Chains A and B, each alone.
Chain A
Amino acid sequence: MFDLYQQQILDRYKNPHHKGHIETFTHQADGANYVCGDEIHWEISLDEQGSVTGLKHDTRACAICTASADLLADQFLNQPAQKIPATTAEAVTELLGIPLSPTRLKCALLPLETLKQALEEA
């Protein structure tokens, strides 16, 4: 029972590593999944070479969404920002390591979609 909520997901939900704010950021975006009530805010700072030097999320969301945001931050921090638009939905599912129903897939993908939006809007 509760296979969806593996230790990694619960840990990241309860003690996310990348939750918070950045003093000076270059990009930001808000995302929400209105049906279930997930809300996320991203702050990103890129250096002149286009590398992600800071990445924080402020989520009011379910465990799947929060864990997804936090694991994505692991992936993208100190990496070239081009990695973000190149990341696929499949990569997120793989990162979470759990099978997701169509509804939960929306929770899992909200952080990535919002992050992509933050870069597009700059």
Chain B
Amino acid sequence: MAITIRHSTNAALQYNQINSMAPYAMLNTGTNFPFLTEAPNPRTLNRDEQSFLYFLSGTASLDAVLTKKYYDRQGELISETGVTLTGVGIHNSIPINSSVAPDGTFKMCVSLERESSLIPVSETRCYILSESCRGTQVVWLNKLGGYESFYFTGFEVETKTVSRETDIKYPESTHYLSPDRVYASREIKSGKTISLFNRCSNREIAEWLKFDLIDSPDVYVIIDNLYIPVNVVNTSVSSVPYVNNYDVSFSLKYAFDINVQTR
């Protein structure tokens, strides 16, 4: 009996969904397939942010061109680029950043279009480019099996927790020059927690962060272009009265101990 090949991706659909990724698997028939993201559309993209758009392909010969369109503040098209996709597999990623955005870009829109007919293969995802003199980027695995990113622009607060276990008591001795050590701990564990803050101008972004980031099993903070693994330990979203802003805060514990000497 010939075995039919099937694929299962790193996704967790919710209880009101049938277990099929077919709606996301882009084909050469059909249009407007969604990317593997549940982020609000449009969303902000910091100029220093290195983000991604993940997608599934149901065919190895996907007829698609990656199209990026750049608009100015008045909504006028500044420029447009197209890259033909070759070698597409099941699980794929498009890097999203503003590194090649022309001067004056206010909004960037990304989509896949059929090369032969320019019919949209995928949905169009748009990014409002924002500036911030500082911030911390967080990357996490979402429920659809793609990675998301967000740039927290508030000041981060780093706290350190040390736990000392297994007390040791040394023999007491009299010493008149300097005291001898009598008490110590055999095991010392030191960990760091980073708290990140952001003021969101709309509720969708705040809710997206609250429900997507907090559930993720794979979260990273980007520091000096390195992925630092962290675990979410706390989150809060609060609205700011009269301003219609939402303050979001996350506490992320580094997923490793700081190296310390032990006795």
A and B together in one complex: no
Give chain B's interface residues, CB within 8 Å of chain A. Answer: none
